[in-house]
Amino acid sequence: MNLLTLDVETTMNAPEAMGKANPMYPGNTIVVLGTKLYNNDKYRDSVVGNDFTPKTPWNLDRLDLDFIVGCNISFDLLYCYKYSSEWKKHLLEQRIWDIQLVEYLLSAQQNK
């Protein structure tokens, strides 16, 4: 199974009413983008720091992914879409596994 785990850390410059880390606010940017690829019992890390550019640490069209995994991954994906049309193109074709949503559903919507 091929899994790509994705996490994005961002600035929080948006007005409070909008939500401080809102991906649609032009003043918010990615601070760190981290990924881990699990592929046939092997891991590969990739972290992009403050110099994040639309160039991607992964060439997604060459990966045969089963899932992209993250926690509250819709937030992370919105930032990826914002910065890279190539990532957006490939991410829209992938199956997504949001562990936060799964936990909520498995707990019969009891955990907050």
DSSP 38-87: EETTEEEEEEE-TT--SS-SS-GGG---SEEEESSHHHHHHHHHHH-HHH
pLDDT at 44 over 70: no
- Residue 24 vs residue 34, higher pLDDT: 24
**Whether the Cβ atoms of residue 79 and residue 30 lie closer than 8 Å to each other:** yes
Q: What is the pLDDT of residue 15?
A: 92
What is residue 31's DSSP assignment? E
For residue 87, name the pLDDT band (cuts at 50, 70, 90). confident
Quick one: 78 exposed, middle or buried, by C-beta within 10 A (0-12, 13-18, 19+)?
middle
Q: What is the pLDDT of residue 50?
A: 52
**Whether the Cβ atoms of residue 49 and residue 55 lie closer than 8 Å to each other:** no
In Å, how far from its chain's centre is CA 55? 15
